[in-house]
């Protein structure tokens, strides 16, 4: 299972910029206004061959009257509780502040590996100024600049050494389907309905479970493990910010499954929190099935309601729209077995292996009729393609000038693969390499 690394600190120390650098895309909002990172951001990074999940938390402000900052503080505390290692970011321009000292106290209680990242040390004149941060009492201290990346390598070298070893999956294991989503979407009720017993506590009070729980499912010719993230913890252990905690649980479950079954409450809509979980699964190349639960409670339905709602969901998940969407009601057991059939189909699609001869037979004529556009008067010639031996569908196309193949043409190739080989519900990775 992949490790989780949380980036914490007070506002305006450069956490989001550092997060964007590590995941190599501009995803977190970066702004000079304090507290702009109010929604959490999740990404995947790797260093020296070791992958880990990364969480960009909001700025921690102890004792603030701002309702948003109070919620951010809860989420920071949850991230600290759930992470395997923590990057504590401070700002050399401001020096050690009272808020830095509050965060340091919080982190020392966690007993987790802490890596103190002193940001904005982008010149020799600031190295001496960074020495005062030794007063915070952390062994691992690194001078860096999140803007230009200097010093990042030393931090990551030590960080990945401190992360727990990844659990190796046994190839003989049953397929693993993770049931994920927001609190009160009906995840536990869905599993209870499938297995025919009340294995999980179901109430109207939103709650979370400390550990993902596996349930073996062996009915109607299907056999797999259901990974649930939706049980109830002891009341004294339940944190207030359950939306954030549900995503933290989903991070763990997604990393250790083959297909995610994303359950959301159709009466609440396919909102940003649900999208967060969807894109997390997509970036991790997991099979995805979307279940719109409580469809029986949606009012003012007509003959086109399903079609219109499905169109709305696909607009939210563009450009990865080749995903099955099943409208269910756990309460009435409407289409819950259809949901499982669909999840099995997606698993089979994710495991599909296409013979090299068949792949070339289908794709090369398409490429010949619709070659990549010329770039700087140079023409790309694709001669051969094959599927790579990865756990999810990935393909390599060999050509003379791979650097001139742009994203629109990659999407064209992906669409043709989907049209001809049925990868419904599964992300596809495509590489162009020099022959």
Is 249 assigned a ligand-binding role in the annotation? Answer: no
Upstream peptide bond of 43 is cis (omega within 30 degrees of 0): no
What is the sign, positive or negative, of the torsion defined by CA atoms of 34, 36, 39, 42? negative
Is 58 assigned a ligand-binding role in the annotation? Answer: yes
Is 192 assigned a ligand-binding role in the annotation? Answer: no
Give ∠ CA 327-332-333 in degrees, rounded to 5.
65
Is 187 assigned a ligand-binding role in the annotation? Answer: yes
Is 208 assigned a ligand-binding role in the annotation? Answer: no
Is 186 assigned a ligand-binding role in the annotation? Answer: yes
Is 287 assigned a ligand-binding role in the annotation? Answer: no
Is 125 assigned a ligand-binding role in the annotation? Answer: no
Is 285 assigned a ligand-binding role in the annotation? Answer: no
Is 322 assigned a ligand-binding role in the annotation? Answer: no
Backbone angles phi, psi at 227, to 5 degrees: -105, 115
Is 236 assigned a ligand-binding role in the annotation? Answer: no
Is 121 assigned a ligand-binding role in the annotation? Answer: yes
Is 181 assigned a ligand-binding role in the annotation? Answer: yes
**CA atoms of 253 and 215, how far apart (whole Å):** 13
Is 98 assigned a ligand-binding role in the annotation? Answer: no
Is 14 assigned a ligand-binding role in the annotation? Answer: yes
* Rg of the chain on CA atoms, in Å: 24
Is 319 assigned a ligand-binding role in the annotation? Answer: no
Is 184 assigned a ligand-binding role in the annotation? Answer: yes
Is 16 assigned a ligand-binding role in the annotation? Answer: yes
Is 188 assigned a ligand-binding role in the annotation? Answer: yes
Is 56 assigned a ligand-binding role in the annotation? Answer: yes
Q: Say if residues 206 and 183 touch (Cβ distance below 8 Å).
A: yes
Is 37 assigned a ligand-binding role in the annotation? Answer: no
Q: Say if residues 99 and 61 touch (Cβ distance below 8 Å).
A: yes
Residue-wise DSSP of 285-353: T-EEEEEEE-GGG-SS--TTHHHHHHHHHHHHTTT-----EEE-BTTTTBTHHHHHHHHHHHHHHHT--
- Counting Cα atoms < 13 Å in the Cβ hemisphere of 399 gives 19
Is 293 assigned a ligand-binding role in the annotation? Answer: yes
Is 350 assigned a ligand-binding role in the annotation? Answer: no
Is 296 assigned a ligand-binding role in the annotation? Answer: yes
Is 338 assigned a ligand-binding role in the annotation? Answer: no
Is 119 assigned a ligand-binding role in the annotation? Answer: yes
* Burial (CB count within 10 angstroms: exposed 0-12, middle 13-18, buried 19+), residue 269: middle
Is 59 assigned a ligand-binding role in the annotation? Answer: yes
Distance, CA of 109 to chain centre: 28
Residue-wise DSSP of 165-179: PPPPPPTTSPPEEEE
Is 13 assigned a ligand-binding role in the annotation? Answer: yes
Identify the three-state secondary structure at position 105: helix
The tokens describing 295, both together, are 């469809």
Which residues make up each annotated binding site for GTP? 9-16, 56-60, 119-122, 181-188, 228-232, 293-296
Which residues make up each annotated binding site? 9-16, 56-60, 119-122, 181-188, 228-232, 293-296
């Amino acid at each position: 299972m992949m490790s989780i690394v949380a980036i914490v600190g007070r506002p305006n120390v450069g956490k989001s910029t550092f997060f964007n650098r590590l995941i190599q895309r501009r995803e977190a909002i970066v702004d000079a206004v304090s507290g702009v990172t109010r929604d959490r951001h999740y990404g995947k990074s790797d260093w020296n061959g070791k992958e880990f999940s990364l969480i960009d938390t909001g700025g921690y402000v102890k004792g603030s009257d701002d309702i948003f900052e109070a919620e951010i503080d809860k989420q920071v505390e949850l991230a600290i509780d759930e992470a395997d290692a923590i990057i504590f970011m401070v700002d050399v321009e401001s020096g050690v502040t009272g808020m830095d000292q509050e965060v340091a106290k919080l982190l020392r209680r966690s007993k987790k590996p802490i890596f103190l990242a002193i940001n904005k040390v982008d010149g020799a004149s600031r190295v001496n100024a960074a020495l005062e941060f030794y007063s915070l009492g952390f062994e691992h201290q690194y001078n860096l600049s999140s803007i230009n990346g200097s010093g990042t390598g030393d931090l990551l070298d030590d960080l990945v050494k401190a992360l727990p070893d990844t659990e190796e999956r046994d190839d003989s294991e049953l397929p693993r389907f993770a049931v994920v989503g927001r609190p009160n979407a009906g995840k536990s009720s869905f599993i209870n309905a499938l297995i025919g017993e009340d294995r999980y506590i179901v109430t109207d009070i939103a709650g979370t479970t400390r550990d993902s729980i596996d349930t073996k499912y062996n009915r109607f010719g299907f056999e797999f493990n259901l990974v649930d993230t939706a049980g109830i913890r002891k009341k004294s252990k339940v944190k207030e910010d359950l939306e954030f905690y549900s995503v933290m649980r989903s991070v763990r479950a997604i990393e250790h499954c083959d297909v995610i079954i994303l359950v959301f409450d159709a009466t609440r809509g396919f909102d940003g929190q649900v999208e967060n979980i969807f894109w997390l699964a997509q970036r991790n190349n997991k099979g995805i099935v979307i279940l719109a639960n409580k469809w029986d409670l949606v009012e003012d339905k007509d003959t086109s309601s399903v079609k219109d709602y499905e169109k709305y969901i696909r607009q939210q998940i563009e450009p990865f729209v080749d995903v099955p969407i099943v409208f269910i009601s756990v309460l009435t057991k409407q289409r819950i077995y259809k949901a499982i059939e669909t999840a099995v189909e997606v698993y089979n699609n994710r495991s599909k292996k296409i013979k090299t001869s068949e792949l070339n037979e289908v794709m090369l004529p398409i490429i010949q009729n619709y070659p990549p556009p010329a770039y700087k008067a140079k023409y790309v010639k694709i001669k051969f393609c094959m599927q790579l031996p990865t756990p999810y569908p990935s393909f390599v196309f060999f050509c003379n000038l791979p650097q001139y193949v742009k994203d629109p043409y990659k999407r064209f190739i992906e669409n043709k693969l989907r049209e001809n080989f049925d990868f419904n519900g599964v992300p596809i990775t495509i590489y162009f390499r020099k022959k």
